[in-house]
Amino acid sequence: MKGPNPGPKPPINPQSNMKYICLGNIDPSKFASFTDAERNAMMDSCFAYDDQLRANGHFQGGEALQPPDAAMTLRYANGRVVVTDGPFAETKEQLGGIMILEARDLNHAVELISKHPGVKFGPWEIRPAADLSEMMRESEARRQTGKR
């Protein structure tokens, strides 16, 4: 049943869908010994489920991440920004990707993610997106009037 992506489903009540961020940690040791065929099957099942989430209007964005050894870390110490390369893979589990998920409520988000084949490979975290719009409005107002 191939066809163009129908786009996100209209919610019954425009207010009804909530945003959750899924932090997809992965433990590479869990598939280190996979054969090519096994790895392909794993990726196929993950991408296929991502497609399902898209088709049903739940996938609102996401990115896979390159491994931590491609990362830069910025800290603030002694009055200035300190830049280092890394972190290198210190912990077993690393952040492998992030997904922005739209779901009816927290239990619905849990249901959707619990069926993702990627969950097998490392704990995944679901957190509701924080609504900072009120805070941003107040900040905007302060910046407009030039008050500190």
Partner 1 sequence: MSAPSTAEIRTQVDAVFRQESGRILATLIRLLGKFDVAEDAMHDAFSAALQRWPAEGIPANPRAWLISTARFKAIDAMRRRRRFAASQEDIADTLHGGQPGVAANASAGAGDDELPDDQLRLIFTCCHPLLAPDARAALTLREVCGLTTEEIARAFLTSAPTIAQRIVRAKAKIRDERIPYQVPSGAELPERIGAVLAVVYLLFNEGYSASSGPSLTRADLSAEAIRLGRVLLELLPEPEVIGLVALMLLQESRRTARVSAQGELVLLEQQDRSTWDHTLIREGIALVERALATRRFGPYTLQAAIAAVHAEAATPEATDWRQICALYAALLAMQPSPVIELNRAAAVAMSEGPAAGLALIDAIVARGELRDYHLAHSARADLLRRLGRQDEAHAAYEQALGLVKSDPEIRYLEKRLRELG
**What is the contact surface with partner 1 in residues (CB under 8 A)?**
1, 9-10, 12-13, 18, 45, 48-49, 51-52, 56, 104-108, 110-111, 117, 128
Name residues whose C-beta falls within 8 Å of residue 76's C-beta, 6 or more positions apart in sequence. 82
28: nearest Cα among 95, 73, 98:
95
Q: Shortest approach of partner 1 to residue 12 CB, angstroms?
A: 5
In whole angstroms, what is the distance from residue 93 CA to residue 30 CA?
A: 10
The order of strands in the sheet holding 94-103 is 59-64, 94-103, 18-26, 124-128
Pairing outcome for strands 72-77 and 80-85: antiparallel
Q: Shortest approach of partner 1 to residue 107 CB, angstroms?
A: 5
Q: Shortest approach of partner 1 to residue 23 CB, angstroms?
A: 15
Q: Shortest approach of partner 1 to residue 106 CB, angstroms?
A: 4
Q: Which residue lies nearer to partner 1 by CB, 1 or 74?
A: 1
Helix, strand or coil, per DSSP, at residue 127: strand
Q: Which residue lies nearer to partner 1 by CB, 7 or 79?
A: 7
In whole angstroms, what is the distance from residue 51 CA to residue 46 CA?
A: 9
Q: Shortest approach of partner 1 to residue 78 CB, angstroms?
A: 38
Give the bridge partners for 19, in sequence order: 102
Q: Which residue lies nearer to partner 1 by CB, 48 or 135?
A: 48
